[in-house]
Amino acid sequence: KAGVTQTPRYLIKTRGQQVTLSCSPISGHRSVSWYQQTPGQGLQFLFEYFSETQRNKGNFPGRFSGRQFSNSRSEMNVSTLELGDSALYLCASSPLSYLEAFFGQGTRLTVV
Amino acid sequence: AQRVTQPEKLLSVFKGAPVELKCNYSYSGSPELFWYVQYSRQRLQLLLRHISRESIKGFTADLNKGETSFHLKKPFAQEEDSAMYYCALTEGGGGSNYKLTFGKGTLLTVNP
């Protein structure tokens, strides 16, 4: 069974630009969550989608958004990038709500 | 607000010694607690969850609601246990509030 796949693995963007990250969950998983990981703040919850609906959102500004498609694939978008958005963005999928989250390898975003 | 505290950033033990990674939480309801592990150059993965009351790779964790703790223990550490360990919680009861709150993590090093 293929694991959670995130693309791209690495990105370098300039301040003010926008970026879209993609996540393909494990087949059959309907819940997809996104997390931001930084050395200072650790792992922080961004949002969670289930059957194309955003069910939960973390404490991030509106520049961070996401969506889920009918095949459960998910994208997150960050607009007007700031230097502080540099981080590892992790996606996780789950078959049912909270039993276990399967994480992808992450997308390393660097904002210069 | 829910919070997870892992007081030790770094923990170093010798092979064969007992190890305990501390985790304290703050949550008003009945949480579900987890330990996730990240080995070098691997993705974050579930180690164990309190609801299963299982022992994985010799690790156990007991939920102490009185002390709001969920410490991870292993009687005899192995070199392959060296990794980053994260304690996490989410709302219990199988509800739709699937949002993992992570601690900052403890880097365990097991020396030969």
Mutation site for A-interface testing, chosen from B56, B99, B101, B106 by largest number of A Cβ within 10 Å: B99
Residue A8 has pLDDT above 70, yes or no: yes
Closest CA in chain B for residue A33:
B99
Which residues in chain A are contacts of B49 at CB distance < 8 A?
Answer: 99-100
- Local structure of B13: helix, strand or coil: strand
Q: Do B99 and A56 touch (CB under 8 A)?
A: yes
Which residues in chain A are contacts of B100 at CB distance < 8 A?
Answer: 33, 35, 43, 45, 92, 101
Summarised one tens digit per residue, pLDDT across range A41-78 is 999 999 999 989 998 899 999 999 999 999 999 999 99
Show the tokens assigned to B61: 């964790």
Closest CB to A97 among B94, B103, B105: B94
Closest CB to B43 among A55, A98, A105: A105
Residue B93 has pLDDT above 70, yes or no: no
Show the tokens assigned to A31: 């819940």
Confidence band, pLDDT 50/70/90 cuts, at residue A82: very high
Can you tell me the distance from the alpha carbon of A104 to that of A106, in angstroms, rounded to the nearest whole number? 5
Summarised one tens digit per residue, pLDDT across range B12-69 is 999 999 999 999 999 887 888 999 999 999 999 999 988 777 778 999 998 898 999 9
pLDDT value for B45:
94
Which residues in chain A are contacts of B36 at CB distance < 8 A?
Answer: 101
Instruction: Say if CB A11 and CB A78 are below 8 A apart.
Output: no
Please, what sign has the CA dihedral across residues A70, A9, B101, A85?
negative
Query: How many percent of chain A have pLDDT more than 90?
Result: 84
Confidence band, pLDDT 50/70/90 cuts, at residue A6: very high
Q: Token match 């498609």: residue? A: A69
Residue A97 has pLDDT above 60, yes or no: no
Which residues in chain A are contacts of B8 at CB distance < 8 A?
Answer: none
